[in-house]
Amino acid sequence: MNIFAIETSCDETACAVVKDGRQVLANVVASQIKTHAQYGGVIPEIAAREHLEAVNVAIDETFTQSGLTPDDIDAFAATVGPGLVGCLLVGLNAAKSLSLVYDKPFIGVNHLNAHLCANYLDTGLKPPFMALLVSGGHTQIIDVENYDKQTIIGETLDDAVGEAYDKVARLIGLPYPGGPMLDKLAQEGNPVYHLPEGKVDGYNFSFSGLKTAVSRLVKSFDGKELPVNDICASFQDCVSATLVKKLRRALDEKGYKQVVIAGGVAANSELRHRVFALEAEGYAVFAPPMKYCTDNAAMVGACAFFDTNTTCDLGVEVFSRA
């Protein structure tokens, strides 16, 4: 089954063709990062207009790359939420138009489920497993009992991890999006500053206190040159220790032997290092390659295939694959 998928929930116009939820036949991503970097964050109205300009080109390019024609496609899918509404509408309407014109089913996909499903691409991963989803908007521990039975057992009570990365990066003068650059500088520094881990019950998280602590630390230098690399390393160390501690506890409690990470922050070097260290304790660890961590449409194609429980935040009709 070939699914043609479109993702436009934030600042990437992405299209892909995925065969049977696992094999990526084409993957095209047009990033708007350069546009939004000048404003220090994503401007929703500009993002929606850039999607409009890019989406047809991305669709054509994806067909060319896959070597397929619309006749070879079994269903069209798009992210329906969560995301910026003007942006979502571009991809959603493009996919629905394609499905109407070519008389194929349309599958609406939840962006967060799609991030998790990035782990099915090019692997043989099967549920059950424990998942840590870390993106610009969300931080969740999810108990994935089956392809369509996922329970969020913990989440952030304030900032998402990616958001904390971007805010801390701005504090120390790094450009948007701060996560990748902060990660790079952290690898050049040492975690010499003690920063507080958010104390929250259960599997929930809090990162706003940590962000405030970094802000205080930065102010304590009173205009003198900042030890940027060490600040980055200290922040990164604290974040990844907090995340992996709770993830581990959730794994132990459920008795799962498989663990996955997903979302933009799953590209983070220290987080990957600590999660992959669980392999030494007998866990099977999965993390998507970098290109499937941040927003892309291949993950949407995988989700449309595997997750029969696709949700629709915009109230549009979802046709089943059957």
The residues binding ligand KG4 (CB under 6 A) are 10, 135-137, 162, 165-166, 177-180, 183, 263-265, 267-268, 294-295
Q: What are phi and psi of 250, to 5 degrees?
A: -65, -40
Q: Is 144 exposed, middle or buried (0-12, 13-18, 19+ CB in 10 A)?
A: buried
Residue least distant from ligand KG4 (Cβ): 264
Residue 58's binding partner, choosing from ligand KG4, Zn ion, none, with beta-carbon cut-off 5 to 8 A by kind? Answer: none
Min dist. Cβ of residue 111 to Zn ion (A): 6
Where are the strands (E) in the chain, listed by range?
2-7, 12-19, 23-31, 75-81, 106-110, 129-134, 139-146, 149-155, 258-262, 284-286
| Distances 303 to 19, 53, 99, 219, 298 between C-alpha atoms, Å | 12, 26, 17, 44, 9
| Rounded-to-integer distance, Cα 204 and Cα 141, Å | 8
| Rounded-to-integer distance, Cα 118 and Cα 201, Å | 29
The dihedral region occupied by 298, where left means phi > 0, alpha psi between -120 and 50, and beta the remainder, is alpha
Min dist. Cβ of residue 234 to Zn ion (A): 26
CB closer to Zn ion, 8 vs 135 = 135
Residue 242's binding partner, choosing from Zn ion, ligand KG4, none, with beta-carbon cut-off 5 to 8 A by kind? Answer: none
CB closer to ligand KG4, 24 vs 182 = 182
| Rounded-to-integer distance, Cα 167 and Cα 165, Å | 6
Residues near Zn ion, by CB under 5 A = 135, 295
Min dist. Cβ of residue 281 to ligand KG4 (A): 24
CB closer to Zn ion, 104 vs 111 = 111
Residue 179's binding partner, choosing from Zn ion, ligand KG4, none, with beta-carbon cut-off 5 to 8 A by kind? Answer: ligand KG4
CB closer to Zn ion, 295 vs 307 = 295
Residue appearing with tokens 């047809």: 56
Residue 198's binding partner, choosing from ligand KG4, Zn ion, none, with beta-carbon cut-off 5 to 8 A by kind? Answer: none
Residue 7's binding partner, choosing from ligand KG4, Zn ion, none, with beta-carbon cut-off 5 to 8 A by kind? Answer: none
Where are the strands (E) in 20-125, listed by range?
23-31, 75-81, 106-110
Residue appearing with tokens 């990660």: 183
CB closer to ligand KG4, 37 vs 277 = 37
Instruction: List strands edge to edge, sheet with 75-81.
Output: 23-31, 12-19, 2-7, 75-81, 106-110
Min dist. Cβ of residue 14 to Zn ion (A): 10
Min dist. Cβ of residue 192 to ligand KG4 (A): 20
Min dist. Cβ of residue 9 to ligand KG4 (A): 7
CB closer to ligand KG4, 54 vs 73 = 54
